[in-house]
Amino acid sequence: GQGVDEPLSATGFRQADAAGLFLSNVKFTHVFSSDLLRAKQTAATILGKNKFCKDLEIKYDARLRERKYGVAEGRPLTDLKAMAKAAGEQCPSFTPSGGETLDEVRERARDFFEFLCQLAVELEQKEQDMHGAARSSSGTSQEELVFPWTNHCSEAELSSDNCGTSKMLDANILVVSHGAYMRNWLGYFVSDLSCTLPANLTKSQLSSVSPNTGVSHFIIKLENGNLLKPEITCVCLNQDSHL
């Protein structure tokens, strides 16, 4: 949750190191992290391994915090399940006293995603102002956009229309957050924005919480800067081959 702001454990740092090595050849234009310590340490560790953007500023945002679990924070998961059972509810949708509802978490995710889309549109507008009508990237070359998980994806997902491996990107954004929060964010992408999912993704994978340092990759297209209808393709979800 949010109330217990513990640092990463030794295992957590090893996982963050592994994620950093996994992503070391990806050039990011922006990095955002939850302002909780475990996420901040993960983001810093990942950047520390990167070949292109070690000195990129990490921006911390409270909208990326884990779901707030109220009176259940700092207690074993078995306690949360017992609270849910006593209330006659299932654990994922149960809201402990003082906690956030799933709708409230999703609203935070929606607000942050719309902020990212606005950021990307403003970047493109700046590029056009600087270079006329010609569309330009943010100084990224194809060699720096080779994503390490491409061998886990279908050809359709990695076509030149959808993937930065063959097309320059306006923004390539790393977001470091938390498991329950990101599961809600994905729910928002799928139910509200009709996100295209990998063909081999099962329902249980769709509803599961990402493992620590699991990597998910989304391609976001904003045709003509249209913020109301983003086209979203999930290239991979909760990828953990680096662990």
**Residue 127 has what pLDDT?**
72
The string of pLDDT tens digits covering residues 111-141 is 999 999 999 888 877 777 776 544 444 444 4
65 is in an annotated binding site: no
**Residue 145 has what pLDDT?**
55
CB 67 within 8 A of CB 184: yes
User: What one-letter code names the amino acid at 163?
Assistant: C
The string of pLDDT tens digits covering residues 51-91 is 999 999 999 999 999 999 999 999 999 999 999 999 999 98
69 is in an annotated binding site: yes
Among the listed residues 67, 94, 97, the one whose alpha carbon sits nearest the alpha carbon of residue 81? 94
Please indicate whether residue 132 or residue 197 has the higher confidence score (pLDDT).
197
CA angle 191, 215, 123 (to 5 degrees): 75
Rounded CA-CA distance 236/218 in Å is 7
DSSP state, 170? Answer: S
User: What CATH class does 10-66+101-127+170-239 carry?
Assistant: alpha beta
Where do the domains of the chain lie? 10-66+101-127+170-239
pTM of the model: 0.87
Grade residue 33 by pLDDT with cuts at 50, 70 and 90.
very high
75 is in an annotated binding site: no
Instruction: Write the CA distances from 115 to 16, 111, 120, 233, integer angstroms.
Output: 26, 6, 9, 18
Q: What percent of the chain has pLDDT over 90?
A: 73
The mean predicted confidence, pLDDT, of the chain is: 87
CB 210 within 8 A of CB 182: yes
DSSP state, 65? Answer: S
The string of pLDDT tens digits covering residues 159-189 is 444 444 434 457 999 999 999 999 999 999 9
Rounded CA-CA distance 124/136 in Å is 8
Instruction: Compute the average pLDDT of residues 32-55.
Output: 97
The continuous run of DSSP H or E covering 31 comes out as strand 30-33
Strands 173-176 and 30-33: parallel
Query: Is pLDDT of 22 > 60?
Result: yes
Q: In degrees rounded to 5, what are phi and psi of residue 190?
A: -75, -50
**Residue 183 has what pLDDT?**
95
